[in-house]
Amino acid sequence: MLLYFVTGNKNKFNEIKRIIPGIKQLKMDLPEIQSLNPEEIIRYKLKAASRRYKGQFLIDDTCLCLKAMGKLPGPLIKWFMEAIGYEGLYKIAKSLNEFSAEASVVIGYSDKKGNIKFFKGSQKGKIVEPRGTLGWGWDPIFLPKGSTKTYGEMTIKEKNMISMRKRAAEKLRKYLERN
């Protein structure tokens, strides 16, 4: 079974490859619709990928939701990071005096027939002053519940033990093993 993970992000690819060995990375620019529903975004991308190539595909979408902002930034986190960075996100949480957050990943899987399934993993935590230089994106400001280290302070091995991407990928792996 040839399974492609459509991503240009080598870090995401390496995290999932540890859980689902044998997947191949496929770098492909796909249009991204704007929505607060990650499944809608992923579905659109999976359909676009299957129009270009034949095969089985994985696409994921990462969300970071600050409790004080409802569903935001959610799947729009990439654009928030580009505009204000993790320092700006920390400043928002601090100004609203609400630091609770939830990080999640939704992985969409499309089989050869185009059937789509979704697998979600999430991790509750809080937004803290930036700490650490490991990881990427907003890792330095996300402190997972029960941890004393931000994702930015964790090694890949430590992060993969508790990450939301790991949880989603394990659900996907179990599904693939059964089917």
- Counting the structural domains of the chain, the total is 1
Predicted local confidence at residue 71, as pLDDT = 82
- What is d(CA 135, CA 26) in angstroms, rounded to the nearest whole number? 21
Across 91-96, average pLDDT: 96
38: tokens are 């990650």
22: tokens are 């044998």
Across 33-46, average pLDDT: 95
Contact yes or no for 163/149 (Cβ under 8 A): no
pTM: 0.93
Amino acid at 91: K
Residue-wise pLDDT for 118-149, tens only, equals 999 999 999 999 999 988 889 999 999 999 99
If you average pLDDT over every residue of the chain, what do you get?
94
Residue-wise pLDDT for 148-161, tens only, equals 999 999 998 899 88
**Interaxial angle between packed helices 10-17 and 164-178, expressed in degrees from 0 to 180 and rounded to the nearest 10:** 50
- What is d(CA 96, CA 17) in angstroms, rounded to the nearest whole number? 38
Across 24-40, average pLDDT: 93
Predicted local confidence at residue 160, as pLDDT = 86
Residue 162 pLDDT greater than 80, yes or no = yes
Predicted local confidence at residue 2, as pLDDT = 84
Residue 1 pLDDT greater than 80, yes or no = no
Locate the DSSP E strands across 44-115: 56-66, 73-74, 100-110
| Percent of the chain clearing pLDDT 70 (strictly above) | 99
Q: Is residue 174 classed as helix, strand or coil in its secondary structure?
A: helix
CATH code: domain of residue 65 = 3.90.950.10
31/61: higher pLDDT: 61
Contact yes or no for 107/59 (Cβ under 8 A): yes
109/71: higher pLDDT: 109
Q: Which helix (H) or strand (E) holds 4?
A: strand 3-6
Residue 29 pLDDT greater than 90, yes or no = no
Alpha carbon distance, N-terminus to C-terminus of the chain = 11
Full domain range(s) for residue 174: 3-178
- What is d(CA 151, CA 134) in angstroms, rounded to the nearest whole number? 7
| Percent of the chain clearing pLDDT 90 (strictly above) | 79
- What is d(CA 153, CA 134) in angstroms, rounded to the nearest whole number? 6
